[in-house]
Structure formats: structure tokens, C-alpha cells
Amino acid sequence: MKHSISLLILSCVALMGCQDIGTSDKQPLKKIQAVDFSHVKITDNFWAPRLKSHATTTLAVCIDQIENQTGRMRNFENAAKGEGEHSGIFFDDSDVYKALEGIAYALKNNPNPELEKKADEWIDKFAAAQQPDGYINTFYTLTGLEKRWHNMDKHEMYCAGHMIEAAVAYYQATGKRKLLDVSIRMANHMMDTFGPGKRNWVPGHEEIELALVKLYGATKDERYLGFANWLLEERGHGYGSKGDEGTWNPVYYQDDAPVREMTDIAGHAVRAMYLYCGMADVAALKNDTGYIDALDRLWDDVVLRNMYVTGGIGSSHHNEGFTEDYDLPNHDAYCETCASVGMVYWNWRMNQFSGDSKYVDVLERSMYNGALAGVSLVGDRFFYVNPLASDGDHHRKAWYGTACCPSQVSRFLPSIGNYIYGVSTDAVWVNLYIGNTAEFDAGKNTVKLEQETNYPWDGTVRLTVQSSFNKDLRLRIPGWCKTYTLTVNGEKQTLNLEQGYAVLNRAWKVGDQITLSLDMPVEVVAADPHVKEDIGKRAIQRGPLVYCIEAADNKTDFNMIRLSPDTKFQTDFVSDLNGIVEIKAFSDNREVAFIPYYSWDNREAGEMKVWLDYIEN
């Protein structure tokens, strides 16, 4: 099979319509509205089984850990009684809220009375643990309420943010507002305590900012949007503090400059992702072009200088984040699963501002590689850290003391349908190729589409129109694809791409069929030459998937495996690892088997690597 050499460098294209600094009353910045996953039923052979294992296995693991294996739910029970010890870490409430959000998302498309009953039981315990003034946080309730709101790194607003997100999700899924009302009381408590003319506050772990925007969306109460904006503007003015419990590191907490002046990503990776999401959400509603200018600069820095080929970010174990540009070690890579999910969240928002497919290219890279590797094929074990090379001693676990990643996976997987379609004034946008049936409103039109594909194993996608509508269809041509064909009702189309989208302009009728064929060769990928770790090495990619080698398939002379310009490749679909396209390389008179990176460490323990030595002829 043919293969190509490509360099993993993405072009820098400025966002359109964002030349002014500050707030503008011009056209809304967000040109595309996402289609909520509740309007999308995933049916393909790749994602549908994962959603099933999420509902039957992943959520069950989270529930068992929260209720039986750890003290997370007991903390709420003790807080309601006002007695007993707090077990675990001060931010453990957030894991429970994220798992509840995952339950809510599962219920949206797959009603389950038993699962809903479990969620209601949890919510009753949350409500009972809330203080009369609206405050809710089991750590301080059980260790001393007099110490609350003293150390900005104690995740009080972080936990509140995840509660708010869960509350909005559950309200949308079931119509039940008990937790929403709990969240409103907590938000009001925070606004009574902090704000203009009151106390300053810089949340040590961002999350509350984007959550408040969701609360505003659910309640239409402008105060929550204003408070989110105020919290963002608190950064970079010297307000951050741990009280008397330690030294505040402004860089680590993204507090070294006002957010609209930021140019380089720094500090903790997940915190940065949540910050950028909050900035994007506020910018969209406040029409703040200054925030978008900053996000555009930060995106270039992240993607061009600080992102792994897997879409993972945050190379350092020391700060769970960043050191210097192009510092991307393989064995020692951190690449927290939560950060890869954060990359999906952020790039999804950036695409909605610009209609530029480069953001979905990064979203897809992070989703299929960095994020998906975070959960085992069975759905019962999780990676916190995602290295690009292993000596065979790095494995998924059922849970962690800091369990943000398992609970993050539990809420991310059931919501992947969010990222498939978008709607703008004149177009329906097809961003991801995942088999599904969808029905949603697009202005005065009701759009019904069926998407059939064996992606990511095959590049053929068939879209069948099942309702008449008069909007352009914009189909993303992935950045990894060099050659493609597009037909409408069997007639080949000649198109120019607009920001990476093929634009089809016509009045659509029931039964119209669009067939997109994306050429999916094996690619031999070179890193940016500034990445010292990967000089003289190459990685293998096919379609959106990054591949690796494991000792399980290559038992002899593992560290002697290398590639060259003469290496030949062959692809075959095999049943191993729940069904994958395996790549076989023929190099140095030996056969080498490559598997998708997301699927490694699902068999016996053994070495793994993504980047291989490359020998020039």
C-alpha cells in the first residue's frame, strides 16, 4: 500500500472577524451552533459498542467506587449529619458530580429507570449536605466551615462548577430541578461573597467559569454570566493566594497576566483547558473579540509547539502541564486524559467561532488518540497518564486517589454526539464521520440525516437526506486527507474547499445521497524538527488514528525495530482488540505489527512505543 511522508505542523490561520480589541456590538462571534447529542443516535460499529460498554460497565465502575470502594458518597452523608470524618482529598466531591453528569448524558438517549433512581438518591444526599447559606463542599463542612474561602487552591469553586454542570445536564435529561436549585443557591452564595465591591477571588482550578455560563443558559439569569466574566477578569492582577497555607505560583495557576493579554500556554494543562473554554463561552455571549484574539494566540502556541502527535498536551509530571516549547518527551510524557478531553472541549468551541476545520482536525486527533486511550476496551479501567513509550510497567487502573480521569471519561463518552453536526444561518456542518441518524432544527428547516460509515477504518461516508431543506451542506475534509472524491446522487462534484469544508449548495430532497470517499493511506509522520526527542524518528498514522507497536505483537528485538524509506505497508482488518485495522510494516527483512495507540495495554504487559528510529538510505 502506498504511504506518504508528512510533517506534523499545522498552519496558523487567523480567526476571521476578530480584528477589534474588546467587546463589540457587531455580528455575533459564534457563527455555528452545535447540534446537541440528544438529537443524534449513534449507530456505527466503532462508537456504538463503546457507548454500550459505557452504560453497562464504565458507569457501574464509577458508581461502585463512589458508593462502596471509597468514601466519596459517605462524605456527603456525613456532611448532611454534620458529624464524622472527611475521607480522601479535598476535591473528591467533583468526581461524584462528574459521574452524575455521565449518568445524565446516558439517560438523554437511553432512558433507564434504575439509573435515574440511583441519580435521584445521590441528589437527595447532595441537597441534604447543603448549608443554610447555600454553601456546599463536604471537605470544609467536615473539617471546619470557618476555614472555607481562605485558600484559592482548595477547589471550592471547581467542585461547585462540576456540580452545576451535572445539575444542568440532569435537568435537561429529566426535567428534574432539585440539583439545579441546589446549584443556584450555591452560585448565589458565591456571588454574595465575591464580586465588585466585595472580596477578590482567583479560582486555583478553573471550571466554575464555563459552568456559570451553562447555569446562565438554563436559568437566563444574567448575573451568572456576569459573575463568570468577573472571575475571568480577576486573573493577572496579583489577587491569587493560598492564604497562610503556601506560596501561590501565578504561572501554574494561569494568573500571571490578564486573560486577554495571554500569549503562551503555561502551568497545569487541564486548568488551562477549562480556562480557555470559559473564555470562549463568555466571549460568545459578550461578543468579546479581545478574548478571541487571546485564544487565537494561545491555540497557535498549544498546537504548533506543545502538542503531541496523539493530541495529548502537558508533558511534565512535575506540574501536570508545560515546561518550554517543543519539550515533548515520550517515556516521561504526562498527557493527562482530562487534558485531551479538554482539547476536544476547547477546539469544539473555537470551530464554532470561525468555521475553520483546523479546530476539528485537532479535536478529532485528541478524541481518537489522547482521550480514547484513557479507557480500556472493556470500559472498566483507566489511564490517568498517557505516555508515548512504555517499558511495560504502565497500566490502566480501576480508580485513582485523584480520580478526575475516570469520572471525566464517564461524562465525555456519552456526549461525543455533540461534535458531529453544527448549524449556521446558511449551512449544516458535518464535522465528524460517525455512523448515526440525526434529526434537528436548522432555522425554519427540520433536518433529518442518516450517516453510514466504517470510519475510522475506512474513508467512505454516505449521507442520506431524509427531509427536504434549503441549506448548504458543509462536509469537513480532514487535514490528514490529501485525496478525496465527492458525489451527489452518483454525480461527481468539483469543489473548492472553504476553510477545509467542501460546500454543497442545493435544495435538498428526501432520498438525496452524498458519498464522500477519503483516501486513507498509511502515513509516515515526522515531528517538528525542534522536538529533540524525536529527531531521527518517525510515527505511523492512518486516517485519524496514530499507531504504535507493542511487544505483544513484536516479541523479538523490540528496540531494534526501525523504519526506512524502503518500508512497505499492508493493512488488514483483524478481530483482535475488538476489531481493528492492523498495519503491517515490512522493514529490515522482518514483519512489524502496528496497532492503534488507543488500544495499547489491553493484552499482556509489554513494551510500547509510538516513535521509531528512522534510517535514511
The count of other CB atoms within 10 Å of the CB of residue 135 is 20
The CA distance from 602 to 245, in Å, is 42
Residue 589 located in a structural domain? no
pLDDT above 90 coverage of the chain, percent: 94
Q: Which three cell numbers mark 408?
A: 471525566
Which of 101, 207, 320, 364 is flagged as catalytic?
Answer: 320
Residue 457 located in a structural domain? yes
The CA distance from 244 to 359, in Å, is 42
What integer is the mean pLDDT of 469-485? 97
Q: What are phi and psi of 555, to 5 degrees?
A: -80, -20
- Which distant-in-sequence residues (6+ apart) come within 8 Å of 146 by Cβ? none
Residue 501 located in a structural domain? yes
The CA distance from 360 to 369, in Å, is 14
The torsion of the CA quartet 109, 338, 310, 369, rounded to 10 degrees, works out to -30
**H/E element, 63:** helix 59-64
Would you say 533 and 329 are in contact if contact means Cβ atoms under 8 Å apart? yes
Residue-wise DSSP of 41-57: EE-STTHHHHHHHIIII
The CA distance from 53 to 59, in Å, is 9
Residue 26 is predicted with a pLDDT of 57
Residue 506 located in a structural domain? yes
Smallest Cα–Cα separation from 525: which of 339, 344, 311? Answer: 311
The yes-or-no answer on residue 67 being catalytic is no
State pLDDT tens for residues 547-597.
Answer: 999 999 999 999 999 999 999 999 999 999 999 999 999 998 899 999 999
Which of 62, 338, 404, 405 is flagged as catalytic?
Answer: 404
**Is 50 exceeded by the pLDDT of residue 481?**
yes
Residue 508 is predicted with a pLDDT of 97
The count of other CB atoms within 10 Å of the CB of residue 26 is 9
Residue 354 located in a structural domain? no
The CA distance from 418 to 36, in Å, is 5
Residue 129 located in a structural domain? no
Global pTM reads: 0.95
**H/E element, 408:** helix 404-412
H helices of 355-403, where?
Answer: 357-365
Residue 498's domain is classified under what CATH number?
2.60.40.1180
**Is 50 exceeded by the pLDDT of residue 13?**
no
**Is 90 exceeded by the pLDDT of residue 297?**
yes
Would you say 31 and 600 are in contact if contact means Cβ atoms under 8 Å apart? no
Q: What is the 3-state secondary structure (H, E, C) of 70-97?
A: CCHHHHHHHHHHCCCCCCCCCCCHHHHH
- 3-class DSSP state for residue 268? strand
Question: What b-and-e string marks burial along 587-605, b requiring 16 or more CB atoms within 10 Å of the CB?
Answer: beeeebbbbbbbbbbbeee
State pLDDT tens for residues 354-383.
Answer: 999 999 999 999 999 999 999 999 999 999
pLDDT confidence bin for 11, thresholds 50/70/90: very low
Residue 439 located in a structural domain? yes
Residue 269 located in a structural domain? no
What integer is the mean pLDDT of 328-342? 97
The yes-or-no answer on residue 335 being catalytic is no
The CA distance from 360 to 110, in Å, is 27
pLDDT confidence bin for 68, thresholds 50/70/90: very high
State pLDDT tens for residues 233-263.
Answer: 999 999 999 999 999 999 999 999 999 999 9
The CA distance from 538 to 431, in Å, is 28
How many domains is the chain built from? 1
- 3-class DSSP state for residue 242? coil
Give me the domain span that covers residue 481: 423-518
Beta bridge partners of 307: 313
**Region at 103 (left for phi over 0; alpha for psi -120 to 50; beta for the rest):** alpha
For 436-561, strand residue ranges (E) read 436-442, 445-453, 460-465, 472-476, 484-488, 491-492, 497-498, 501-504, 513-518, 522-526, 537-542, 545-550
Q: What separation in angstroms does the CA of 513 have from each of 172, 435, 491, 502, 506? A: 33, 15, 10, 15, 12
- Which distant-in-sequence residues (6+ apart) come within 8 Å of 516 by Cβ? 433, 459, 460, 461, 462, 463, 475, 484, 485, 486, 502
Amino acid identity at 81? K
